[in-house]
Amino acid sequence: MKNPNTEQLLASILIRDPRYVAAAYIFVRAGLDYTVRRLDKPRHVSGQELLDGIREFALSEYGPMTKTVLNGWGIRCTEDVGEIVFNMVESGLLGKTEKDSRADFADGYDFDETFRKPFYPSASQAKP
């Protein structure tokens, strides 16, 4: 493929790794952009910084439906975010440093705790 565009690169990723749909890659890229915009000045972000930014971005976009939306795209844990990031790195859609690895995304946070618990009624709101 001569000078492939983003859509062509994404299509090749989806063929190689069908675990995630195109929307998952678009979401992770948007989450990265959101994370970088929050910085004082643009720079490379770590895996943990990206996970934090993605958490905030996802909750702001999808609220109580966040976990359902992400699961529908194949994203069920922070390790899935890492897989998506490294699929994009390997295709040339994202860059990385020599310190970056898939392990940076291991056990970042629990999806139920992060995306469901904030929307549970508090004990003071529960009716007797």
Q: Are the CB atoms for 34 and 42 separated by under 8 Å?
A: no
Q: Are the CB atoms for 59 and 122 separated by under 8 Å?
A: no
CA dist., res. 39 & res. 92, Å (int): 23
Alpha-helical regions (H) of 1-128: 6-16, 22-37, 47-62, 66-72, 78-91, 111-115
Tens of each residue's pLDDT in the chain, 128 residues: 467 788 999 999 999 999 999 999 999 999 999 999 999 998 999 999 999 999 999 999 999 999 999 999 999 999 999 999 999 999 999 999 999 999 999 989 999 999 999 898 876 555 55
pTM over 0.85: yes
Angle value at C-alpha 7, between 18 and 66, nearest 5 degrees: 55
